[in-house]
C-alpha cells in the first residue's frame, strides 16, 4: 500500500504528514480564511474505513506527527489520533471557531474523537474561542462537550450554545445577554383619560392596582414597535409611537439578570377596548387625575416620578426621545437612534 502525503495550508503555514489510507476521501475543506487542501497519491484502502457520516477531513492511521512551520521558523508538533476527524467549522469575524451544528458526527463516540482532534488542531493554529451549538435533537452530545471542558453560554428553545476557551488565562469570549428589555405604554386620549389595565396574575397585594400596559419586547423587535404591540395585545387599542419618556435600569431581577424598562408615550388611534383574557383581568380608560391619585402611585417614588414626567410632557414642559432611522458605516445596517432635538419651529415641546 502506498503512502500519501497530506499538505495542510493555513495562513501561510504548511503541515506535511505521511498518511496511509483511502486518500481520495480527503476533500478540500474551508474555514473562513483558512483553506485546507490535500495532495496525495492514488493509495487505496477498503471504503468501510471511511466512517464519518458527514465527510469531514479525516486523518487516517499513522504513528507520525504533524509539523507546522511558522513564519518565524518555529515548529509545533501535533500528534494524530486513530480514526480522528476534524469537525466541520468556519472562522468568525473575530478569529474564533464556529462548529457547524448541521454536520456533526452521528454518535457520541465519534463526536468525542473528532472534538479532541479538532481542539488539538485549533490550539496548534493559535485559535482561541470555540463556539458549539447543539440542537435539541443532539442533546446527547452535551455531556461529551462538557467533559472536554466546554461551558454553557446560553440556551434557547431549540438549542444550547457552549463555548471553549483554548488559551490559558481568563476567557475573553463575550458573555451571555445580561439584560431583559421591557416596555410600558402611556396612552392618553382627547378626554384626558389614561389607558390602564389590571393584571390577571399580578401578586395579590397589587391585584386592585390600575397600571399602564407593559410587557417584554421580542427578539429583533424595536422598542417602539414592542410598546405598540403590547398595548394592542393587552387592550385591543391601536396606537402610534411618539416618544420614549423615560427608562429605568434595575439589577438582579429575574434569574439574576438586569432589566431595562422603557416608558413610551403613545397616541391612541382607536377607542374600543378588547382585553386579552389570558393575561388581563380588566382594562379601561381612567381619568388622569384618578390614575395619579391611586395610593400605589403616590407611595412609590419611582412610579410617582414617572407620572410626573408624563404630565410634564403633556404640558410641553419636557421633551422625550424620538426614534430616527440611521445607517452606520460600522455595519451597514439601519438602526434606531433615540434622541431629543427641538427645532425652533417645534411648538410641541418646550423643554428647557
Give me the pLDDT at residue 77, please. Answer: 29
Mark whether 103 and 129 lie in a shared domain. Answer: yes
Mark whether 125 and 255 lie in a shared domain. Answer: no
Kind plus residue range of the DSSP H or E element containing 109: helix 108-124
Give me the pLDDT at residue 331, please. Answer: 84
**Average pLDDT of the residues in 188-210:** 88
What does the block give as the cell for 240?
402610534
Cα–Cα distance for residue pair 84/60, rounded to 1 Å: 7
pLDDT digits (tens, 9 = 90+) for 73-125: 332 323 344 445 899 999 998 889 999 999 999 999 999 999 999 999 999 99
Mark whether 239 and 261 lie in a shared domain. Answer: yes
The domain boundary, picked from 103, 132, 165, lies at: 165
The domain boundary, picked from 132, 165, 198, lies at: 165
- Give the model's confidence band at 143: pLDDT under 50 very low, under 70 low, under 90 confident, else very high: very high
pLDDT digits (tens, 9 = 90+) for 123-139: 999 999 999 999 999 99
Residue 331 lies in a domain: yes
Half-sphere exposure of 83 (CA within 13 A, CB side): 11
Residue 262 lies in a domain: yes
Residue 172 lies in a domain: no
Mark whether 113 and 253 lie in a shared domain. Answer: no
* Average pLDDT, rounded, for the chain: 79
pLDDT for residue 15 is more than 90: no
Give me the pLDDT at residue 74, please. Answer: 33
Residue 105 lies in a domain: yes
Mark whether 34 and 153 lie in a shared domain. Answer: yes
pLDDT digits (tens, 9 = 90+) for 224-245: 999 999 999 999 999 999 999 9
Which CATH number fits the domain that encloses residue 246? 3.90.79.10
Residue 348 lies in a domain: no
Mark whether 199 and 155 lie in a shared domain. Answer: no
pLDDT digits (tens, 9 = 90+) for 250-264: 999 988 999 999 999
pLDDT for residue 247 is more than 70: yes
Cα–Cα distance for residue pair 49/115, rounded to 1 Å: 19
The total number of structural domains in the chain stands at 2
Mark whether 252 and 208 lie in a shared domain. Answer: yes
Give me the pLDDT at residue 136, please. Answer: 96
Residue 344 lies in a domain: no
Give me the pLDDT at residue 16, please. Answer: 35
Give me the pLDDT at residue 49, please. Answer: 36
User: Which phi and psi angles does 62 have, rounded to 5°?
Assistant: -170, 145
- Give the model's confidence band at 329: pLDDT under 50 very low, under 70 low, under 90 confident, else very high: confident
Whole domain around residue 66: which residue ranges?
A: 4-165
Mark whether 9 and 157 lie in a shared domain. Answer: yes
pLDDT for residue 45 is more than 50: no
Residue 257 lies in a domain: yes
Cα–Cα distance for residue pair 172/170, rounded to 1 Å: 6
Rounded to two decimals, what is the model's pTM?
0.70
Residue 328 lies in a domain: yes
Mark whether 154 and 192 lie in a shared domain. Answer: no
Mark whether 334 and 280 lie in a shared domain. Answer: yes
Long-range contacts from 171-178, C-beta under 8 angstroms, 24+ separation: 171/129, 172/128, 172/129, 173/96, 173/129, 177/257, 178/257, 178/258
**Average pLDDT of the residues in 148-161:** 96
Which CATH number fits the domain that encloses residue 54? 3.40.630.30
Mark whether 204 and 302 lie in a shared domain. Answer: yes
The domain boundary, picked from 112, 137, 165, lies at: 165
pLDDT for residue 183 is more than 90: yes
Give me the pLDDT at residue 204, please. Answer: 66
Could you give the percent of the chain with pLDDT greater than 70?
72
Cα–Cα distance for residue pair 276/264, rounded to 1 Å: 20
From the list 119, 114, 87, the residue with the least C-alpha distance to 103 is: 87
Mark whether 189 and 335 lie in a shared domain. Answer: yes
> Mean pLDDT lowest for which of 108-122, 163-177, 216-230, 331-345?
331-345
Amino acid at each position: 500500500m502506498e503512502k500519501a502525503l497530506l499538505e495542510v495550508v493555513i495562513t501561510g503555514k504548511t503541515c506535511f504528514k505521511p498518511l496511509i489510507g483511502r486518500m481520495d476521501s480527503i476533500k478540500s475543506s474551508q474555514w473562513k480564511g483558512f483553506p485546507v487542501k490535500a495532495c496525495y497519491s492514488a493509495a487505496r484502502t477498503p471504503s468501510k474505513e471511511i466512517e464519518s457520516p458527514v465527510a469531514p477531513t479525516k486523518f487516517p492511521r499513522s504513528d507520525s506527527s504533524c509539523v507546522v512551520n511558522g513564519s518565524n521558523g518555529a515548529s509545533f508538533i501535533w500528534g494524530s489520533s486513530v480514526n480522528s476527524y476534524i469537525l466541520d467549522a468556519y472562522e468568525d469575524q473575530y478569529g474564533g471557531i464556529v462548529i457547524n451544528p448541521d454536520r456533526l458526527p452521528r454518535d457520541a463516540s465519534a463526536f468525542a474523537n473528532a472534538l479532541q482532534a479538532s481542539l488539538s488542531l485549533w490550539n496548534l493554529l493559535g485559535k482561541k474561542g470555540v463556539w458549539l451549538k447543539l440542537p435539541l435533537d443532539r442533546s446527547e452530545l452535551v455531556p461529551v462537550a462538557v467533559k472536554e471542558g466546554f461551558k454553557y453560554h446560553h440556551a434557547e428553545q431549540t438549542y444550547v450554545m457552549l463555548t471553549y476557551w483554548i488559551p490559558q488565562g481568563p476567557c475573553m469570549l463575550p458573555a451571555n445577554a445580561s439584560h431583559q428589555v421591557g416596555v410600558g405604554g402611556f396612552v392618553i386620549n382627547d378626554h384626558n383619560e389614561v389607558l390602564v389595565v389590571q393584571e390577571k396574575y399580578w401578586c395579590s397585594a397589587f391585584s386592585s392596582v390600575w397600571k399602564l400596559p407593559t410587557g417584554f419586547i421580542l427578539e429583533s423587535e424595536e422598542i417602539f414597535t414592542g410598546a405598540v404591540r403590547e398595548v394592542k395585545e393587552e387592550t385591543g387599542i391601536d396606537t402610534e409611537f411618539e416618544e420614549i419618556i423615560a427608562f429605568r435600569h434595575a439589577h438582579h431581577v429575574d434569574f439574576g439578570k438586569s432589566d431595562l424598562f422603557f416608558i413610551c408615550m403613545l397616541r391612541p388611534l382607536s377607542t374600543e377596548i378588547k382585553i386579552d383574557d389570558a393575561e388581563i383581568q380588566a382594562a379601561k380608560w381612567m381619568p388622569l387625575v384618578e390614575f395619579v391619585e391611586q395610593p400605589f402611585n403616590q407611595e412609590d417614588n419611582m412610579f410617582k416620578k414617572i407620572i410626573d414626567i408624563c404630565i410634564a410632557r403633556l404640558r410641553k414642559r419636557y421633551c422625550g426621545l424620538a426614534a430616527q432611522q440611521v445607517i452606520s458605516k460600522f455595519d451597514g445596517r439601519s438602526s434606531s437612534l433615540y434622541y431629543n432635538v427641538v427645532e425652533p419651529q417645534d411648538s410641541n415641546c418646550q423643554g428647557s
